[in-house]
A and B are shown apart, each in its own frame.
Chain A
């Protein structure tokens, strides 16, 4: 075989391999983009889903809902997108990138956590103390928006709201990738406090919740939307509203509308 022919064959073979890898992932099963805070639940949800649909395993990709939505905007086509807000699914739907209307999924609450082994932050007012390190999340993420509104609501309960808000803002030392990374940093003791979801705090043994005044913690409305136009994708979205899925969500600390 001449070197030239050999080279052509090798190129063709490699290209075929690459194409095969690309299509194999979309073959059977469902691709799900899930908000980072849903990550810990996906195994349980998949087991329950497989009990009714054993031929549709889930391939899950988690991350900040803003990152996942940006990927969908740039051409990613998962079957289903589960977001930690309703803003992202609505935006995608308005842009014509979804196969159906977004639907509500569940509700989560934003809480303030501190390392279990550390006693620096015991009350919300400590957030404004000089030297307190607050771990934040990248500003585009849903948790960052919820944290901002929580801080604003908290400031309203303080004697000098503007000064409090400014002091807390100045104490934010990091913008982590997503809420799970923020939780990890607080668990490690690398920060004095951080805003995460109630479900994250519930599942963690290395953080303690710092009580917030009633009504201050923001409520997160999670939304789910079918992105790919497949019957299986629609079935999964339907199933998420069923009792089996609701039970799993509620056990983790989510609130599901009846």
Chain B
């Protein structure tokens, strides 16, 4: 009982301390509505929206494949999908640099196509997609696995084609899992720091997301850093509470 209380206090104290500092700091409101914080907030929201769209579009078919099909090298594929979760973000950033940077493996080909990835907003999206997709794919994969095959077979017996089964039976039944995966992936993408700072740089308005602003402004304007940090905490808390209160993803993996 006491160990549990210690654990809970340990987790709660930093958050309480941060919010306390944010509220007691006189310049918070000014900083929160200042250019730097606003730019970072808009950039964070815009990039995570794009990233999550990409994750859903590419991740859902991937999850379906991993859930339903057996193929040669599937173990490797599953390991690759899980890898970004255990990879330290700075390592991910370095790897992305060596893959898509100017002197990177695919960098030459990209340059020929006229695309220069590093230090652009696109790089921020790439970093976010890389680190966040495993969260979505894993959740949706287990969601697809838990769809009762009998229900799908019943639909097929009733004359539904494969596409119709997917659209009207499988996907709706997997929706709670997709929702849970989406929330986790979004949280991961929003908080992405290590890979972004290495691969994308940190220019205000272009590549400086809220987490990067917190880190950079710690050295310059503590008020800005605290404001950005408070916004991030409140956004995360808001999402988590909303999800819990609406009982949305019931009985799915991490959110059970």
Give the B-binding residues of A (Cβ under 8 A).
4, 7-8, 10-11, 14, 64, 66-67, 69-70, 133, 138-141, 172-177, 188-190
Which residues of chain B are near A64, meaning CB under 8 Å?
219
**Smallest CB separation, A98 vs chain B (Å):** 18
**A175 with B216: in contact, given A189-B102, A190-B97, A190-B118 (CB under 8 Å)?**
yes
Residues of A within 8 A of B201 (CB): 173-176
**Also in contact, A188 and B216, with CB within 8 A (given A7-B1, A175-B201, A175-B202):** no
Point out the residues of chain B lying under 8 angstroms from A66, CB to CB. Answer: 219-220
Question: Which among A7, A70, A174 is the interface contact of B202 at CB below 8 angstroms?
Answer: A174
DSSP class of B's interface residues: helix, strand, loop or mixed? loop
A7 touches B2 (CB 8 A): yes
Interface residues of B in 195-221 (CB under 8 A from A): 197, 201-203, 207-208, 216, 218-220
- Contact for A140 among B2, B118, B220, CB less than 8 A: B220
In the complex, A67 Cα to B217 Cα: how many Å? 9
- Cβ of B103 within 8 Å of any chain A Cβ, yes or no, is yes
Report chain B residues within 8 Å CB of A69: 219
Greatest chain A CB density within 10 A among B101, B197, B201, B220 is at B201
Q: Whole-angstrom distance from the CB of B32 to the nearest CB of chain A?
A: 20
Q: How far is the CB of A18 from chain B (nearest CB, A)?
A: 10
Whether A138 lies near B1 (C-beta < 8 A) is no
- Return chain A residues, CB-CB under 8 Å to B103: 188-190
Residues in B whose Cβ lies below 8 Å from that of A10:
3
B6, CB-defined interface residue at 8 Å = yes
Does B222 touch A at the CB level, under 8 Å?
A: yes
B3 A4 Cβ-Cβ under 8 A: no
- B137-162: CB near A (< 8 Å → 1, else 0) gives 00000000000000000000000000
Q: Are A140 and B219 in contact (CB under 8 A)?
A: yes
The residue in chain A whose Cβ has the minimal distance to the Cβ of B118 is A190
Q: Which B residues are CB-close (under 8 A) to A67?
A: 218-219
Closest chain B residue to A15 by CB distance? B6
- Residue B248 lies at the interface, judged by CB distance under 8 Å to chain A: no
Question: A7 contacts B118, CB within 8 Å?
Answer: no
11 further contact pairs, Cβ within 8 A, besides A139-B220, A177-B197, A190-B101: A67-B219, A70-B218, A138-B202, A139-B216, A140-B216, A174-B119, A174-B203, A175-B202, A176-B201, A188-B103, A190-B118
A176 to B196, CA, bound (A): 11
For window 92-121 of B, CB contacts with A under 8 Å fall at 97, 101-103, 118-119
Q: Which residues of A contact B218 (CB under 8 A)?
A: 67, 70
Q: With the chains together, A133 CA to B2 CA distance in Å?
A: 56
Contact between A70 and B2, CB atoms less than 8 A apart: no
Contact pattern, B 1-18, Cβ under 8 Å of A = 1, otherwise 0? 111001000000000000
Nearest-Cβ distance from residue A215 to partner chain B, whole angstroms: 29
Minimum Cβ distance to chain B for residue A56 (Å): 29
- A228–B87 alpha-carbon span in the complex (Å): 38
Which of A133, A138, A188 interacts with B219 by CB under 8 Å? A138
Contact indicator B119/A11 (Cβ below 8 Å): no
In the complex, residue of chain A having the shortest beta-carbon distance to the beta carbon of B204 = A175
> What B residues does A177 contact at CB under 8 A?
197
Please indicate the chain A residues that have their CB under 8 angstroms from the CB of B2 in the complex: 4, 7-8, 11
**What CA separation (Å) do A116 and B169 show in the bound complex?**
60
Q: Cβ of B203 and Cβ of A188 under 8 Å apart? A: no
Contacts of A11 in B (CB 8 A): 2-3, 6
Restricting to B15-35, which residues have a CB under 8 Å from any CB of A?
Answer: none
Using Cβ atoms and an 8 Å threshold, which residues of chain B touch A7?
Answer: 1-3
Question: B1 and A141: CB pair below 8 A?
Answer: no
The answer to whether B219 touches A173, judged by C-beta atoms less than 8 angstroms apart, is no
Please name the residue on chain B nearest to A139 by beta carbon: B220
Whether B102 contacts A190 by the Cβ 8 Å rule is yes
A174–B201 Cα distance when bound, in Å, is 4
- Which of B97, B197, B216, B222 has the most chain A CB within a 10 Å cutoff? B216
Inter-chain contact B102/A175, CB cutoff 8 Å = no
The residues of A that contact B97 with a CB separation of less than 8 Å are 188, 190
Docked pose: A139 CA to B219 CA in angstroms: 9
Chain A residues with CB below 8 A from B207, complex form: 174
> Closest B-chain residue to A4, C-beta based?
B1
**B97 → chain A, closest Cβ, in Å?**
7
CA distance A52 to B119 in the complex (A): 47
> Which of chain A's residues have a CB closer than 8 A to the CB of B3?
7, 10-11
Within the complex, what minimum Cβ distance (angstroms) separates A130 from chain B? Answer: 13
Residues of B within 8 A of A70 (CB): 218-219, 222
B208 CB to nearest chain A CB (Å): 8
- Contact residues in A for B101 (Cβ distance below 8 Å): 188, 190
| Closest CB in chain A relative to B117 CB, distance in Å | 11
Most buried by A among B119, B202, B219, B222: B219
